[in-house]
């Protein structure tokens, strides 16, 4: 473990990554991986700590703003980037290695492969952002094969993404434990997100309505309210709080993300816009 806060080693090629990790593997050390797009915050750092607490001897973080998961009209070019700041945070968190490849390294010119997960990636984010999960699954598959970790952590903040990656790891027999990490929130309840930086001061204040409304919907559902009525009331409250449009606010089966089934775990999911910023959140019921 990098406990003396030595400068964080950064590698940019798959061969350098494997070379660095080889002695750890030879020594039988347990290795954890935390894939990110950078602009790190406490949510990301909690994933590194979780893997350490689970007994990983080494924790590797990756930073790659993955073009394959952005549509042409989305925010790839202006996605926040601060590698020096991120490296300082990862050093303080005791991370052992940062893999920050170039786009060229991840997608050389003849690159032609796409990993597609059906079913769980179709609804919700899959409808709103049809290109998204194909890009995520392809890059996460590559990172898991490149680093070959024992465990990899993903946040429940992006719950559908977590389910897609779990499905992929099972379907492709990837020898990795996918570790879910609870959502880290700001003091007012807003889920931490790199994209929160885009919110104007006023929108930042309005944004706190999202988790509050979702928690009220969850409470209503637990109290026996009709799910469609509770969701419709929540959507109206978000609209009244300035969210426009609300892409979805819906109760779903927590595993398949299909319609809720009696006697099975359920979750509430929402995505909504505040001006130019799209926020997502979800809660267990
Ligand atoms: P990103 O950099 O947004 O791609 O996120 C990288 C990883 O951090 C993903 O597994 C996210 O789900 C996770 N993550 C992002 N925000 C949070 C948060 N507020 N709490 C927990 N995990 C998070």
For ligand 1, the distance from its centroid to the CA atom of residue 229, given in whole angstroms, is: 30
pLDDT at site 228 = 98
Write out residues with Cβ below 6 Å of ligand 1.
Answer: 36-37, 43-44, 46-47, 154-155, 157-158, 181, 183-184, 191-194
* Residue of minimum CA distance from atom 11 in ligand 1: 155
Active site (annotated) includes residue 131: no
The full DSSP string for 103-159 is: HHHHS-TT--------STTSSTHHHH-TTHHHHHHHHHHHHHHHH--SEEEEEGGGH
- Over residues 145-159, the pLDDT tens digits come to 999 999 999 999 999
269 Cβ partners below 8 Å, 6+ apart? 124, 159, 160, 248, 249, 250, 251, 252, 257, 280, 281, 282
Q: What is the pLDDT of residue 213?
A: 99
Ligand 1 pocket check: which of 36, 85, 153, 155 to mutate, most ligand atoms within 8 Å of Cβ? 155
Catalytic residue (choose from 41, 44, 73, 131): 44
The DSSP code for 192 is P
State mean pLDDT over 53-59: 98
At 143, phi and psi to the nearest 5?
-60, -40
Distances from the Cα of 152 to the Cα of 82, 120, 148, angstroms: 23, 20, 9
Atom 8 of ligand 1, residue of closest alpha carbon:
44
Region 177-204: mean pLDDT is 97
Q: How distant, in Å, are the alpha carbons of 56, 94, 179, 270 from that of 87?
A: 20, 11, 23, 32
Choose one of 63, 64, 157 to mutate for the ligand 1 pocket test, by most ligand atoms within 8 angstroms of C-beta: 157
Segment 215-219 mean pLDDT: 98
Name residues whose C-beta falls within 8 Å of residue 151's C-beta, 6 or more positions apart in sequence: 30, 31, 32, 33, 51, 54, 56, 176, 177, 178, 179
Mean pLDDT across 212-221: 98
pLDDT of residue 189 exceeding 80: yes
Q: Give residue 7's pLDDT.
A: 86
C-alpha angle with apex 51: 271 to 1, nearest 5 degrees?
A: 135
179 has pLDDT over 60: yes
Kindly provide the b/e burial profile for residues 249-260, where b requires at least 16 CB atoms within 10 angstroms of the residue's own CB. Answer: bbbbebeebeeb
* pLDDT, average across residues 191-205: 97
93-150: per-residue pLDDT in tens?
999 999 999 999 999 999 999 999 999 999 999 999 999 999 999 999 999 999 999 9
Q: State the closest ligand 1 atom to the C-alpha of 153, by its place in the atom list counted from 1.
A: 10
| Residue closest by Cα to atom 6 of ligand 1 | 36
Calculate how far, in angstroms, residue 223's C-alpha sits from the geometric centre of ligand 1: 30
Mutate to test the pocket of ligand 1, among 43, 159, 180 (most ligand atoms within 8 A of CB): 43
252 CA → ligand 1 middle, Å: 21
Given a cut of 90, is residue 2 above it in pLDDT?
no
> What is the overall mean pLDDT for the chain?
97
Q: How far is the CA of 44 from the centre of ligand 1 (A)?
A: 5
CA distances from 194 to 61, 126, 187, 191, 219 (A): 16, 20, 16, 10, 28
- Give me ligand 1 centre to Cα 24, in Å: 26
Structural domains of the chain in order of their starting residue, each with its CATH number: 10-181 (3.40.50.620), 194-284 (3.30.1300.10)
Query: How much is the pLDDT for 21?
Result: 98
> Which pLDDT score is estimated for 6?
74
What average pLDDT does this structure show over 208-220?
98
- Residues near 170 by beta carbon (within 8 Å), at least 6 away in sequence: none
**How much is the pTM?**
0.97
Q: Each residue of 261-274: pLDDT tens digit?
A: 999 999 999 999 99
Q: Kindly indicate the confidence band of residue 5, based on its pLDDT and cuts at 50, 70 and 90.
A: low
DSSP string, 17-77: HHHHHHHHHHTT--EEEEEE-SS--HHHHHHHHHHHHTT-SEEEEEE---GGGS-TTSSTT
Mean pLDDT of 46-69: 98
């Amino acid at each position: 473990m990098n406990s003396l806060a030595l400068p964080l080693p950064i590698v940019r090629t798959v061969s350098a990554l494997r070379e660095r990790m080889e002695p750890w593997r030879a020594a039988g050390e347990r290795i954890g991986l935390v894939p990110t797009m950078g602009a790190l915050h406490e949510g990301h750092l909690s994933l590194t700590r979780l893997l350490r607490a689970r007994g990983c001897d080494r924790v590797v973080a990756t930073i790659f703003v993955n073009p394959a998961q952005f549509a042409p009209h989305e925010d790839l070019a202006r996605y926040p980037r601060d590698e020096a700041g991120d490296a300082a945070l990862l050093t303080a968190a005791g991370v052992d290695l940062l893999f920050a490849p170039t786009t060229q390294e991840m997608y050389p010119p003849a690159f032609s492969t796409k990993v597609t997960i059906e079913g769980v990636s179709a609804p919700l984010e899959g409808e709103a952002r049809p290109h998204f999960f194909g890009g995520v699954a392809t890059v996460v598959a590559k990172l898991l094969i490149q680093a070959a970790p024992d465990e990899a952590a993903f946040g429940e903040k992006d719950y559908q993404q977590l389910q897609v990656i779990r499905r992929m790891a099972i379907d492709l027999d990837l020898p990795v434990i996918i570790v879910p990490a609870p959502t880290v929130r700001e003091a007012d309840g807003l889920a931490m997100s790199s994209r929160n930086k885009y919110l104007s001061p006023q929108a930042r204040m309005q944004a706190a309505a999202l988790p509050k409304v979702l928690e009220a919907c969850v409470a209503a559902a637990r109290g026996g309210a009709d799910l469609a009525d509770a969701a419709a009331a929540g959507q109206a409250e978000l609209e009244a709080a300035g969210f426009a449009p609300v892409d979805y606010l819906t109760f779903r089966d927590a595993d398949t993300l299909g319609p809720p089934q009696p006697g099975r775990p359920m979750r509430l999911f929402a995505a909504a816009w505040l001006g130019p910023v799209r926020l997502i959140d979800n809660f267990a019921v």
